[in-house]
């Protein structure tokens, strides 16, 4: 069988693959775009868009229950129609996916292939009965939930972040195994929908990559809403108990028994079934594709973007990967991965916005640093909104004034963090933030005040 020739093959129609196909097509290249499941990848179908749509529903329910705090009368108890919540989520997610499909269909020289792609050689890919070849191949195959081989895990009907999106009944008691970002977002939203929720985390604290004060504040926020949190869990095991599921995690504590179990124990890359060995593409011990600073793999003519390369696990890092590849290939602009500053959010309520280094990382670096912090109880806008959980913290280099990092855990924290992030990209010193005039009343208006009150980091 002779292979169909293209200028480029893009495997995976996620947050890097689809826009790259568009850029290549606009540059006059013929492109084969291959997707084995749903257009849009994790973000559109099982990640950001559907989950944040559900977070919005959960916030509405939570605020309605607190109506009396604001002098608002709601007659009768606040109810939740979970089928309607799911239908709203499906509508929003589906509209985004349809928009992408329409865009792809309008690309003049782009051919969409539905199926599982596997390498036959470094420049040839098979999709079903089709054989495709191109001098440039781009991988954007994403990742999936990790399911460790824990005792009894395969004897129960566990859920992952993906299968949670198909759930059409509200769990009476959701047990969440894992205490990081995905798990905590689901824990809080389902608690607000009316489920009993238990979180079990084997590490000594939740969100282990954050500073200890941030982790403690996050746990307090969840526990204040009635979520049961167990950290430092021992040997975790699962077993059926009638129509329910029992999760054991400590010899001196009774097992948690619930109707549903969500496993949120990390992600693994979708690289094990691509035939990478036939192409000679190198992967690391965890299965991530090894790339350089411009996202080139070990094989000339093959690039890897998004979750499959281990350089980031977020939609924004995946999209930035696309921008880096496109800039180098099409714009004569030598962008690279190490240009970017780590930034992300945890979408519990109130949300956490984070950029740059944590306090622990700054201490480990050995550099002299300054720190400023203020609780949300002293932020006027948070008090006015009746949402005073959390705090803000800024770190700066004591010798150069370079802004090293920031955390905003509080109302609008996922938005306010960009005040600091953009200054970091501009390489502006902390004095620039200290002298800025921000709008009042606003959560971010306290960032300049904090910058004026920095003290040596112990």
Cα–Cα distance, 78 to 86 (Å, whole number): 18
Query: Looking at residue 369, what is its pLDDT?
Result: 98
Average pLDDT in the 215-221 region? 98
Q: How confident is the model at residue 35 (pLDDT cuts 50, 70, 90)?
A: very high
Q: How confident is the model at residue 251 (pLDDT cuts 50, 70, 90)?
A: confident
Domains annotated on the chain, with CATH: 4-144+268-339 (3.50.50.60), 153-265 (3.50.50.60), 343-453 (3.30.390.30)
Query: Looking at residue 439, what is its pLDDT?
Result: 96
Q: How confident is the model at residue 41 (pLDDT cuts 50, 70, 90)?
A: very high
For 296-351, the pLDDT digits (tens) are: 999 999 999 999 999 988 999 999 999 999 999 999 999 999 999 999 999 999 99
Average pLDDT in the 13-36 region? 97
Cis peptide upstream of residue 350 (ω within 30 degrees of 0): yes
DSSP string, 295-317: -B-SSTTEEE-GGGGTS--SHHH
Query: Looking at residue 194, what is its pLDDT?
Result: 97
Q: What is the share, in percent, of the chain residues with pLDDT greater than 90?
A: 97
Query: Looking at residue 252, what is its pLDDT?
Result: 82
Query: Looking at residue 107, what is its pLDDT?
Result: 95
Q: Are 406 and 355 in contact (CB under 8 A)?
A: yes
Angle of helix 315-330 versus helix 17-26 axis, rounded to 10: 20
The strand ranges marked E within 207-340 are 228-230, 237-241, 244-248, 256-258, 260-263, 267-269, 302-304
Query: Looking at residue 2, what is its pLDDT?
Result: 85
The size of the chain, in residues, is 458
If you ran DSSP here, which 8-state letter would residue 68 be given? G
Residue with tokens 């200054």: 423
Q: How confident is the model at residue 1 (pLDDT cuts 50, 70, 90)?
A: low
Nearest alpha carbon to residue 103 among 44, 166, 36, 162: 44
> Collapsing DSSP states into helix, strand and coil, what is residue 112?
strand
Average pLDDT in the 108-135 region? 96
Instruction: Please write down the long-range contacts of 385-388, taking CB distance under 8 Å and 24 or more positions apart.
Output: 385/411, 386/66, 386/69, 386/70, 387/350, 387/411
Average pLDDT in the 147-176 region? 96
Q: How confident is the model at residue 85 (pLDDT cuts 50, 70, 90)?
A: very high
214 to 16, 51, 261, 266: CA distances (angstroms): 31, 23, 26, 20
Nearest alpha carbon to residue 178 among 49, 267, 58: 267
Cα–Cα distance, 219 to 204 (Å, whole number): 12
In this predicted structure, the answer to whether residue 265 has a pLDDT above a threshold of 80 is: yes
For 129-138, the pLDDT digits (tens) are: 999 999 999 9
Cα–Cα distance, 118 to 457 (Å, whole number): 52
Query: Looking at residue 253, what is its pLDDT?
Result: 87
Give the CA radius of gyration of the chain.
24
Average pLDDT in the 259-269 region? 96
Average pLDDT over the chain, rounded to whole?
96
Cα–Cα distance, 397 to 439 (Å, whole number): 26
Using alpha carbons only, give the angle 128, 129, 132 rounded to the nearest 5 degrees.
90
In this predicted structure, the answer to whether residue 383 has a pLDDT above a threshold of 70 is: yes
Average pLDDT in the 213-229 region? 98
State the catalytic residues. Answer: 440
Tell me phi and psi for residue 108, to 5 degrees: -60, -40
pLDDT, greater one: 10 or 252: 10
């Amino acid at each position: 069988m002779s292979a169909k020739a293209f200028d480029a093959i893009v495997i995976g129609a996620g947050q890097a693959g689809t826009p790259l196909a568009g850029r290549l097509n606009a540059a006059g290249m013929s492109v084969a775009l291959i997707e084995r499941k749903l257009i849009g990848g994790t973000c559109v179908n099982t990640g950001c868009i559907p989950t944040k749509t559900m977070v919005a529903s959960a916030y509405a329910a939570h605020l309605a229950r607190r109506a009396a705090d604001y002098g608002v009368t709601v007659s009768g108890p606040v109810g939740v129609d979970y089928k309607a919540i799911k239908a709203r989520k499906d509508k929003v997610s589906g509209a985004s996916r349809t928009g992408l499909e329409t865009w792809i269909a309008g690309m003049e020289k782009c051919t969409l292939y539905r199926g599982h792609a596997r390498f036959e050689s470094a420049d040839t890919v098979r999709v079903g009965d089709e054989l495709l070849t191109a001098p440039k191949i781009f991988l954007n195959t994403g990742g999936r939930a990790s399911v460790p081989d824990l005792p009894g895990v395969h004897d129960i009907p566990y859920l992952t972040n993906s299968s949670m999106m198909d759930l059409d009944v509200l769990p009476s008691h959701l047990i969440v195994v894992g205490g990081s970002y995905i798990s905590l977002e689901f824990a809080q939203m389902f608690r607000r929908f009316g489920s009993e929720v238990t979180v079990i985390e084997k590490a000594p604290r939740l969100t282990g990559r954050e500073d200890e004060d941030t982790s403690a504040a996050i746990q307090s926020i969840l526990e204040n809403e009635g979520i049961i949190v167990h950290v430092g869990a021992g040997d975790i095991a699962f077993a059926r108990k009638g129509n329910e599921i029992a999760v054991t995690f400590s010899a001196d504590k009774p097992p948690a028994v619930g109707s549903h179990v969500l496993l949120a124990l990390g992600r693994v890359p979708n690289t094990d079934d691509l035939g990478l060995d036939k192409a000679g593409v190198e992967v690391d011990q965890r299965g991530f594709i090894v790339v350089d600073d411009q996202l080139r793999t070990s094989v000339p003519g093959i690039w890897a973007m998004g979750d499959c390369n281990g350089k980031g696990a977020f939609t924004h890092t995946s999209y930035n990967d696309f921008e880096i590849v496109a800039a180098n290939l099409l714009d004569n602009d030598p962008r690279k991965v190490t240009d970017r500053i780590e930034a992300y959010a945890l979408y519990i309520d109130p949300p956490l916005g984070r950029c740059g280094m944590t306090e622990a990382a700054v201490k480990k670096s050995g550099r002299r640093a300054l720190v400023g912090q203020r609780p949300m109880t002293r932020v006027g806008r948070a008090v006015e909104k009746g949402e005073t959980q959390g705090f803000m913290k800024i770190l700066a280099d004591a010798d150069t004034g370079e802004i090293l990092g920031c955390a905003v855990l509080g109302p609008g924290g996922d938005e306010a963090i960009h005040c600091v992030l953009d200054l970091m990209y501009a390489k502006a010193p902390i004095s620039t933030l200290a002298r800025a005039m921000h709008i009042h009343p606003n959560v971010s208006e306290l960032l300049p005040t904090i910058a004026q009150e920095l003290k040596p980091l112990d």
